[in-house]
């Protein structure tokens, strides 16, 4: 096992990025944030899709509470100048960077771990996964973009329940609340995430970029501005690969969406 805080591996067009502090349940401290930042920037440069996962028996136990205690107790120096919160910066590179990310979740996906997971575009959980926002119990507040991202995924009612009562959601409950799109048997989340990533990598990078960068922004606009933005994007910009993709279909060379004889579940 590598002693790096975040592992990085390139598998063809897919970058595999693993949180690697299993003895601390992959809790995120400032060094992990820096290592994660390097990894996601590198993935954006050399891969078409990224997969986020956790080494060991959990995805991520959230904020490193030991480091947080040192700060709360005034033992760690506070930054002299205000700057953009490092977690926001990294999670935004994931959520609105050049490539899509799939998160493979298992065990604890709590606090900042859930915030990290919701920065990814697709989430797969195995049956061991559970989701929580124990900030209320710890006397702190979400700080990794959860007020925006987690709230947009699950809605206020569910987020308030999780934060106020400390309720944990199982993998199946997480699927019901749209935290995850796929639930697989324990131990299979990473394989499933890699399978999905390989599929996503077959799209054009340009379309993937529009799905991950344009859709969420349009979601924030009014109806009218959203349609205008869609018009600008669908009519005035064509990636170089587009004509070839369209020609493949028109000339009967495109892979069918559904193979002949396949029954959709």
Q: Which residues are known to be catalytic?
A: 115, 135
Site for ligand 1HE in 104-143 (CB under 6 A): 108, 110-112, 134-135, 138, 140, 142-143
87 binds ligand 1HE (CB under 6 A): yes
| Nearer Cβ to ligand 1HE (138/178) | 138
71 binds ligand 1HE (CB under 6 A): no
Pick one of 63, 117, 169, 196: the residue that binds ligand 1HE (CB under 6 A). Answer: 63
Pick one of 18, 53, 58, 123: the residue that binds ligand 1HE (CB under 6 A). Answer: 58
Kind plus residue range of the DSSP H or E element containing 122: strand 122-126
Size of interface with ligand 1HE, in residues (CB under 6 A): 22
* Minimal distance, residue 29 CB to ligand 1HE, in Å: 8
| Nearer Cβ to ligand 1HE (130/196) | 130
Site for ligand 1HE in 152-191 (CB under 6 A): none
* Minimal distance, residue 142 CB to ligand 1HE, in Å: 6
* Minimal distance, residue 243 CB to ligand 1HE, in Å: 45
* 118-121 contacts, C-beta under 8 A, 24 or more apart: 118/145, 118/146, 118/149, 118/150, 118/153, 118/179, 119/91, 119/92, 119/94, 119/95, 119/145, 119/149, 120/52, 120/94, 120/95, 121/95, 121/211, 121/212
| Nearer Cβ to ligand 1HE (168/211) | 168
* Minimal distance, residue 4 CB to ligand 1HE, in Å: 18
Q: Which of 173, 114, 180, 199 is nearest to 149 (CA)?
A: 114
Cβ neighbourhood burial of 156 (10 Å; 0-12, 13-18, 19+): exposed
Per DSSP, helices labelled H in the chain are: 30-46, 65-72, 86-95, 112-119, 135-138, 149-154, 156-165, 171-176, 189-200, 205-209, 215-219, 223-236, 241-250
Pick one of 18, 50, 54, 62: the residue that binds ligand 1HE (CB under 6 A). Answer: 62
By the 8 A CB rule, do 50 and 18 touch? Answer: no
Per CB under 6 A, residues contacting ligand 1HE are: 24-25, 27, 58, 61-66, 87, 108, 110-112, 134-135, 138, 140, 142-144
């Amino acid at each position: 096992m590598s002693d790096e805080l975040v592992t990085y591996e390139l598998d063809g067009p897919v970058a595999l990025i693993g949180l690697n502090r299993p003895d601390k349940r992959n809790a995120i401290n400032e060094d992990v944030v820096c290592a994660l930042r390097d990894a996601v920037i590198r993935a954006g440069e050399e891969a078409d899709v990224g997969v986020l996962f956790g080494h060991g028996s959990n995805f991520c136990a959230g904020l490193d509470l030991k480091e947080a205690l040192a700060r709360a107790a005034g033992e760690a120096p506070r930054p002299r100048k205000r700057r953009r919160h490092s977690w926001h910066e990294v999670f935004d590179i994931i959520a609105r960077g050049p490539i899509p990310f799939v998160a493979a979740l298992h065990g604890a996906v709590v606090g900042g771990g859930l915030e990290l997971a919701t920065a990814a575009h697709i989430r797969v959980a195995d049956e061991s996964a559970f989701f929580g926002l124990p900030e209320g119990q710890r006397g702190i507040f979400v700080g990794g973009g959860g007020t925006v991202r987690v709230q947009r995924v699950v809605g206020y009612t569910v987020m308030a329940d999780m934060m106020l009562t400390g309720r944990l959601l199982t993998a199946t409950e997480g699927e019901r609340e749209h935290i995850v799109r796929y639930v697989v048997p324990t131990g299979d989340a990473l394989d499933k995430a890699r399978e999905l990533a390989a599929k996503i990598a077959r799209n054009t990078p340009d379309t993937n970029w529009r799905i991950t960068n344009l859709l969420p922004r349009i979601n924030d606009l009014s109806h009218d501005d959203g349609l205008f933005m869609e018009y600008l994007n669908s009519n005035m910009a064509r990636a170089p690969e587009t004509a070839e993709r369209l020609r493949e279909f028109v000339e009967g060379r495109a892979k069918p969406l559904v193979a002949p004889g396949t029954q959709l579940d």
